[in-house]
Amino acid sequence: GSICTTRVISGIGVPQITAVYNASQAAADSNTTIIADGGIRYSGDITKAIAAGAHIVMLGGLLAGLDESPGERVLYQGRTYKAYRGMGSLGAMVQGSSERYRQGGAEKGNGKLVPEGVEGRVPYKGSLSPFLYQLIGGLRAGMGYCGAKTIDELRTEARFIKVSPASVRESHPHDIAITQEAPNYTAEYKTVDGN
């Protein structure tokens, strides 16, 4: 997810959409629940994760700025944020999550813990209810564009294509100074090449 460093620290990991698809294919004949854990920045990412085979999506970073999420509100340079940290961050490990990362015996505070996450702040987003309405609306729109009336139909009707960094930029508003942000979109998105 957005707060996780596991892939760069351990060298282990797979891009989320690939992981979800591969897991769903491997579990096709079982009653295994597939969870998309990471990579969800917009409602469209939920649509893609479910279409790839996820039954559930984890939305840690996406929900972290809401009133109902843990974390202190912080005013920084005139904007309101909420503190956010992952369970693999040093602060969380010192407070007890180190067992989860098989580091329960490590001495606390002497640099021997090996964190797999960071601590930071995310923009404050207000209450969950209107935010959730936008997420559900985006999922419904994606299903409609695929001609799907149900989640199962979404999984069979959706088609995936590879996209380039240029096409990702093209997917977002461009060549304009946004004067009125939409409730379901932020212009803080950066592509893999940083633009």
Choosing from 7, 73, 100, 140, the catalytic residue is: 100
1: tokens are: 């997810």
Length of the chain: 195
The neighbouring-strand residues paired with 56 are: 35
Helix pair angle (128-145, 43-52), 10° resolution: 50
Asked if 121 is an active-site residue, the reply is: no
Yes or no: say if 106 and 12 are a contact pair by the CB < 8 Å rule. no
* 100 labelled catalytic: yes
Catalytic residue among 4, 85, 140, 146: 4
β-strand partners of 119? 85
In terms of Cβ atoms closer than 10 Å to its own Cβ (0-12, 13-18, 19+), residue 115 is buried
* Residues belonging to the active site: 4, 100
